[in-house]
């Protein structure tokens, strides 16, 4: 029976980053269980993308995967334009709003999830201290006195001192650990797709708040600098109607709600819609179990911070495990992780809820006040600088691997 210090269930972006961060900071051995194939990278951009902030980019640099990511496909952006379709308010962020010492020339990067996962997977496979189990899913996890026994349907079981659940929003590990979940339906579905914009993306992330929810245009790398990934959050009924429209009607609807700021917008891919829910594990740790990423928390995508929150989990947990590497199941260090990451997740969930409610349909006087507030904020450079630093991830208690 093979034994490891750490067993990670889930080989997505956060699970792989956790494994690499643990190995970067310690000599702990890691097993990764994931049966999902790593997709081939094609010339056609994938419709699922992430907004990677400066802190997460720094983590990727420390882990030695940033160069591989950038050689595949990535799109930096230097500005953000946000406006309210129901009023006259708008907010613009750009690098001139903050000092040069606080940025490396970009506000962030839009990168396809497949590209990030592929780069992390390749790097992990080169590490002799990381073993992959990709043939079967786990069927049971049993706690012994000092170890955890993980069994498959037919292949030999494995042992570990600690199990990390990085297996997404519907986490099997979370269920095995009997960790209760707090959740709330946002009553939104997100439509994602790749589109072409007549006037180009201008190295800018665009977001409009519509009466039914936010619509984001995230710039993608392309020869003509005209491709964007859209994330259109709207009611389930509206999402169903929009996904059923023919391509021409959808293009007309998308061009209209974007107020023509990007010119004529045309669909370049299939459309996918999925429900949005806030999930929050009431505990991030249990005896010999730890949750990271979406297994611990999911938030509304309107600010694009979900994956960055999960990557911060990965870096924080690796740091604490390295500090207490003589006992990876030390209750003190696991409690530290829980306090650190739960506080950050709660703050982010509250912030997303505040923004969502602020831009919900309002009576005319309130909508006017909201527009005026945006316009005033747009002129307050110190406050804008603070918001930009938060979006870039350069605030709060940062793990060592996310610092310069």
SS3 for 24?
Answer: helix
Give residue 394's pLDDT.
74
SS3 for 187?
Answer: strand
CB 228 within 8 A of CB 195: yes
> Using one digit for the tens of pLDDT, what is the confidence trace for 68-99?
999 999 999 999 998 888 666 788 888 776 66
Q: CA 197 to CA 209: how far, in whole Å?
A: 19
Residues across the chain: 404
SS3 for 33?
Answer: strand
Residue 295's alpha-carbon distances to 104, 172, 180, 378, in angstroms, are 31, 9, 12, 36
Residue 177's alpha-carbon distances to 21, 135, 310, 371, in angstroms, are 24, 23, 19, 46
Q: CA 395 to CA 77: how far, in whole Å?
A: 20
SS3 for 303?
Answer: helix
Q: CA 318 to CA 330: how far, in whole Å?
A: 13
pTM over 0.95: no
SS3 for 368?
Answer: helix
Give residue 363's pLDDT.
46
First to last CA, the chain: 41
CB 45 within 8 A of CB 37: no
Residue 310's alpha-carbon distances to 165, 197, 213, 219, 378, in angstroms, are 12, 31, 24, 22, 30
> Strand 181-197 vs strand 227-234: parallel, antiparallel, or unpaired?
antiparallel
pLDDT in tens, the chain (404 residues): 899 999 999 999 999 999 999 999 999 999 999 999 998 899 899 999 999 999 999 999 999 999 999 999 999 999 999 888 866 678 888 877 666 555 568 889 999 999 999 999 999 999 999 999 999 999 999 988 889 999 999 999 999 999 999 999 999 999 999 999 998 888 899 999 999 999 999 999 999 988 888 899 999 999 889 999 999 999 999 999 999 999 999 999 999 999 999 999 999 999 999 999 999 999 999 989 999 999 999 988 766 678 999 999 999 999 999 987 556 667 788 899 999 999 988 888 887 766 655 555 544 445 555 555 666 666 656 666 666 676 777 777 899 999 98
Give residue 364's pLDDT.
44
Non-local CB neighbours of 197 within 8 Å, separated by 6+ positions: 217, 226, 227, 228, 262, 263, 264, 265
Which structural domains are found in the chain, ordered by start? 2-182+277-397 (3.50.50.60), 187-276 (3.30.9.10)
DSSP letter for each residue of 95-154: GGGS-GGG-SS-SEEEEEHHHHHHHHHHHHHT-TTEEEE-SS-EEEEEE-SS-EEEEESS
SS3 for 75?
Answer: strand
Residue 223's alpha-carbon distances to 23, 40, 266, in angstroms, are 37, 20, 16
| 271 backbone dihedrals φ, ψ, rounded to 5° | -105, 140
Give residue 89's pLDDT.
76
DSSP letter assigned to residue 302: G
Give residue 379's pLDDT.
61
Q: CA 358 to CA 157: how far, in whole Å?
A: 51
Q: CA 58 to CA 43: how far, in whole Å?
A: 26
7 exposed, middle or buried (CB, 10 Å; 0-12, 13-18, 19+)? buried
Non-local CB neighbours of 157 within 8 Å, separated by 6+ positions: 1, 149, 150, 151
């Amino acid at each position: 029976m093979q034994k490891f210090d750490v067993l990670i269930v889930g080989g997505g972006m956060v699970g792989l980053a956790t494994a690499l961060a643990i190995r970067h900071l310690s000599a702990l051995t890691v097993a990764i269980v994931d049966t999902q194939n790593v997709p081939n990278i094609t010339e056609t951009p994938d419709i699922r993308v992430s907004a990677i902030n400066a802190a997460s980019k720094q983590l990727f640099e420390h882990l030695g995967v940033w160069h591989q990511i950038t050689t595949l496909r990535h799109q930096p952006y230097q500005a953000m334009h946000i406006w309210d379709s129901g009023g006259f308010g708008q907010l613009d962020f750009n690098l001139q709003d903050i000092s040069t010492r606080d940025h490396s020339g970009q506000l962030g990067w839009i990168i396809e999830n497949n590209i990030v996962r592929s780069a992390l997977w390749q790097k992990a496979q080169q590490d002799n201290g990381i073993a992959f189990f990709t043939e079967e899913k786990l069927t049971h996890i049993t706690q012994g006195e000092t170890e955890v026994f993980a069994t498959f349907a037919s292949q030999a079981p494995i042992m570990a001192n600690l199990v990390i659940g990085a297996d997404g929003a519907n986490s099997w590990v979370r269920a095995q650990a009997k960790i209760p979940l707090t959740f709330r339906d946002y009553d939104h579905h997100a439509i994602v797709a790749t589109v072409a914009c007549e006037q180009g993306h201008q190295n800018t992330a665009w977001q409009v708040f519509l009466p039914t929810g936010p619509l984001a245009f995230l710039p993608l790398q392309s020869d003509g600098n005209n491709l964007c990934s859209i994330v259109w959050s709207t009611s389930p009924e509206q999402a169903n109607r929009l996904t059923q429209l023919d391509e021409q009607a959808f293009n007309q609807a998308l061009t209209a709600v974007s107020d023509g700021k990007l010119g004529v917008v045309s669909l370049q891919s299939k459309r996918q819609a999925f429900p949005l829910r806030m999930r929050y594990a009431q505990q991030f740790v249990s005896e010999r179990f730890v949750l990271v990423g979406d297994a611990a928390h999911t938030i509304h995508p309107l600010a694009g911070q979900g994956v960055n929150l999960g990557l911060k989990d990965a870096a924080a947990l690796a740091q604490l495990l390295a500090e207490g590497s003589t006992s990876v199941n030390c209750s003190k260090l696991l409690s530290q992780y829980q306090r650190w990451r739960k506080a950050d997740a709660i703050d982010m969930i509250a912030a997303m809820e505040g923004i969502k409610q602020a831009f919900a349909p309002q009576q005319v006087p309130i909508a006017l006040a909201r527009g005026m507030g945006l316009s005033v904020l747009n002129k307050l450079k110190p406050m804008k600088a603070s918001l930009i630093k938060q979006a870039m991830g350069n605030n709060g208690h940062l793990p060592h691997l996310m610092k310069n």
